[in-house]
Amino acid sequence: MSGPVEKNPSPRKGLGSLLVGNPFQDESVAFKWLILMLAAAVTVALVAKLISPAAAVVWGILILIAVAIVGVRVVIYLLGSPDDDDPEE
Amino acid sequence: MESASIAASPGHVDDHHHHGPPEAHQSSRIDPTVLGILLFILSEIMLFGAFFAAYFFLRVVVDPVAWPPQGIHLPVLIAGINTAVLVSSSFTIHYALEAIKRGNHAGLKLGLTLTWLLGATFLFIQINEYIHIGFTPRDGAFGSIFFSLTGLHGAHVFVGLLLITFATIRAYRGHFGPEQKNHLGVEVPSIYWHFVDIMWIIVFLAIYII
């Protein structure tokens, strides 16, 4: 087997710093994601009511893109590289 | 990595005790079980993504002026109350997990029981909504995609309820403890439950609000 697994690794920059930890390992981090999505949903609903449904769709897509960027960064960091495990380099 | 060295050198001393194929290479940054959950959730996101793509495609193609079609009135208030019920259940399951982290078994049982009741209430209200909503999956594209998307989510809630049922039974039997390895049976269903809640928030926004 490989060496010990790092616990809760995560990028520490940008939006990711708000969600330090691994949501697939730590329930508290997953709960933070839920709160963040709830807040985002409120803003989308407000845009839909105050401006238009089309604007809400655009705003929702922008939020999902931002979440996806953070998510991809977390996944890339979690998976790492084979070079990380080579002690000779 | 040791697993790599086993594969590269057949004469390694561990080969005397190792049966079957060499152990798989794995990252030192992520546990294999966590990677499994990660891939499972990613596949679920893609599944829901396909249904959302179908929903918005139909919404644009069928008749962008009248959506939902004339004669169909969605019970937004009831769905909003149902959303509050489901979101509340995420708070109660979070409370349950925080309780067991402090060794509070009574809090764990209370939190899990409340979560189960709130989840069952959500499903009951949704089934009641299906009965009284006034259209069926056969009534045009809107009916089809409405029941498909909400039904897909309802199926996930049902699976989550099953997981919480097992966790609750185990909690009443005193199976869990404060250390993480001793309450994984609560933590993993909790993560799944939060995912199901987040998906419902998006489904609710797409169908009832936007």
Residues on chain B bordering chain A, Cβ-to-Cβ distance under 8 angstroms: 1-3, 23, 25-31, 34-35, 37-38, 41, 56, 87, 90, 94, 97, 187, 190-191, 194-195, 197-198, 201-202, 204-205, 209-210
The pLDDT of residue A70: 83
- List pLDDT tens digits, range B36-95: 877 888 899 999 999 999 998 988 887 667 788 888 889 999 999 999 999 999 999 999
pLDDT confidence tier of residue A4, bands split at 50, 70 and 90? low
**Contact state of A80 with B41 under an 8 Å Cβ cutoff:** no
- List pLDDT tens digits, range A9-56: 444 455 555 556 677 778 888 899 899 899 999 999 999 999 998 899
Which burial class, exposed, middle or buried, applies to B155 when counting CB atoms under 10 A from its CB (0-12, 13-18, 19+)? exposed
The pLDDT of residue B72: 86
Residues in chain A with CB shorter than 8 Å from the CB of B49 are none
> Tokens at residue B115, please?
């979560």
The pLDDT of residue B206: 92
Q: Is the pLDDT of residue B110 over 90?
A: yes
Question: What single-letter DSSP state applies at residue B139?
Answer: S
A23 has a chain B CB within 8 A of its CB: yes
Task: Specify which of A59-63, B14-18, B118-122 reaches the highest per-range mean pLDDT.
Answer: B118-122
A37 to chain B nearest CA, in Å? Answer: 7
Suggest the residue from B6, B89, B205, B208 to mutate for an interface test with chain A (most A CBs closer than 10 A).
Answer: B205
CA-to-CA separations, A46 to A53, A64, B59, B81, in angstroms, rounded: 10, 17, 21, 17
Length of chain B counted residue by residue? 210
Bond preceding residue B137 cis, omega within 30 of 0: no
Give the type of residue at B119.
G
**Contact state of A60 with B210 under an 8 Å Cβ cutoff:** yes
Q: Which residue has the higher pLDDT, B32 or B115?
A: B115
Q: Is the pLDDT of residue B117 over 90?
A: yes
| Residues B41, A42, A39: CA angle, nearest 5 degrees | 60
Task: Provide ipTM, 2 decimals.
Answer: 0.78
**Contact state of A84 with B28 under an 8 Å Cβ cutoff:** yes
- List pLDDT tens digits, range B146-204: 999 999 999 999 999 999 999 999 999 999 989 888 888 899 899 999 999 999 999 99
